């Protein structure tokens, strides 16, 4: 490992503080009425239709699949992540009787901020070798977990009594969803062997770079509103994300699969990250209750200072 405790915590703060700063900027802009009451939704729509699809396309179009094939790490991180998603989904579905809301809250409990926080932290702790597991986990989160949540939401929104018609409508809805289509197109493009033309690549890069800041500002704008809804449900989601998720991944990576140190340590660190903005974007896009999700992102980001410190301690015990 490349850094000590003091350096690590200082660097963690340097990654987390900009997250809070962007949320705060959105909050202040709304409270000062520099941005109007519909700004959160409009900015989020821009992210969903332009910025995030560009990032998803880039992630899959430029992927070298042989380079990313680490079956042990993929199994540990994917299984732990999907398990938390399904546990939360079933629990919240039984409580609130809404599969769509349960899917978004399941995403809140399992969607780690691997891109904005995970990549710099893994490079900080493991050096250049940390980039590979961070990128793999990002692909798992945005191409597997995110897509699973979208499928569940689309299924929940269908009222068609005929199974065939319901499946057809869900399939059509998914084909119209930019968050599903863009990584698929990227995968097809990667398989074709063609490179993206330089001007088009620059457009994609600019849009992709705007994803995180726009989503965080949109979150701050939303938090500035007087919120109504089941906002008291955020702390259990935070506990699932910051405690249950890393515990399950630790169990799989260290005890069951016995991964090599780099991959086991990376899986643990990445699973202990706070909730990313993806669940909030989906809640806004599908016009579901976003109060619980927004607070879970905020509180998990703050709580991750503790979980990341504990993970560092575990990593030091298993050099």
| CATH number of the domain residue 278 falls in | 1.20.1530.20
Task: Report pLDDT for 228.
Answer: 46
Contact of 247 with 272, CB cutoff 8 Å: no
Q: Look at the pTM and tell me if it is higher than 0.85.
A: no
* Residue range of the domain that includes 117: 5-317
Nearest alpha-carbon partner for 307 in 275, 277, 269: 269
CA angle 184, 188, 191 (to 5 degrees): 140
Residues 6 or more apart whose Cβ sits within 8 Å of residue 102: 88, 89, 90, 91, 92, 93, 96, 152
Is the pLDDT higher at 244 or at 158?
Answer: 244
Task: Report pLDDT for 180.
Answer: 75
CA atoms within a 13 Å half-sphere pointing along the CA-CB vector of 212: 17
Share the mean pLDDT of the chain. Answer: 83
pLDDT in tens, 95-135: 878 888 999 999 999 999 887 788 778 877 888 788 788 88
**309 — pLDDT class (breaks 50, 70, 90):** confident
pLDDT in tens, 203-237: 999 998 888 888 889 888 888 875 544 445 788 99
Task: Compute and round to an integer the Cα radius of gyration of the chain.
Answer: 19
Counting the structural domains of the chain, the total is 1
Nearest alpha-carbon partner for 315 in 259, 233, 277: 259
């Amino acid at each position: 490992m490349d850094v000590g405790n003091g350096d690590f915590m200082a660097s963690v703060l340097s990654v987390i503080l900009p997250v809070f700063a962007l949320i705060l900027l959105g909050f202040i802009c709304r409270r000062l009425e520099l941005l109007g009451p519909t700004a959160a939704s409009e900015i989020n729509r821009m992210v969903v239709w332009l910025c995030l699809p560009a990032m998803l396309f880039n992630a899959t179009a430029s992927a070298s699949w042989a380079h990313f094939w680490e079956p042990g790490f993929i199994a540990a991180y994917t299984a732990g992540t999907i398990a938390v998603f399904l546990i939360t989904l079933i629990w919240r579905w039984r409580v609130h009787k809404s599969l769509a809301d349960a899917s978004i809250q399941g995403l809140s409990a399992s969607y780690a901020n691997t891109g904005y926080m995970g990549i710099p932290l893994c490079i900080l702790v493991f050096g250049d070798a940390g980039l590979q597991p961070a990128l793999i986990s990002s692909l798992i989160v945005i191409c597997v977990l995110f897509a699973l949540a979208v499928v569940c939401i689309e299924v929940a929104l269908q009222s068609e009594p005929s199974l065939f018609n319901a499946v057809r409508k869900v399939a059509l809805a998914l084909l119209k969803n930019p968050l599903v289509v863009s990584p698929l197109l990227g995968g097809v493009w990667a398989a074709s062997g063609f490179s993206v033309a330089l001007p088009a690549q620059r457009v994609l890069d600019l849009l992709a770079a705007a994803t995180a800041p726009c989503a965080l500002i949109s979150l701050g704008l939303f938090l500035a509103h007087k919120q109504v809804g089941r906002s008291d449900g955020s702390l259990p989601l935070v506990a699932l994300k910051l405690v249950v998720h890393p515990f399950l991944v630790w169990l799989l990576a260290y005890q069951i699969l016995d991964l090599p140190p780099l991959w086991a340590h990376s899986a643990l660190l990445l699973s202990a990250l706070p909730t990313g903005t993806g669940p909030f974007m989906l809640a806004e896009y599908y016009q579901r209750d976003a109060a619980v999700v927004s607070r879970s992102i905020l509180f998990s980001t703050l709580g991750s200072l503790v979980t990341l410190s504990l993970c560092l301690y575990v990593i030091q015990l298993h050099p």
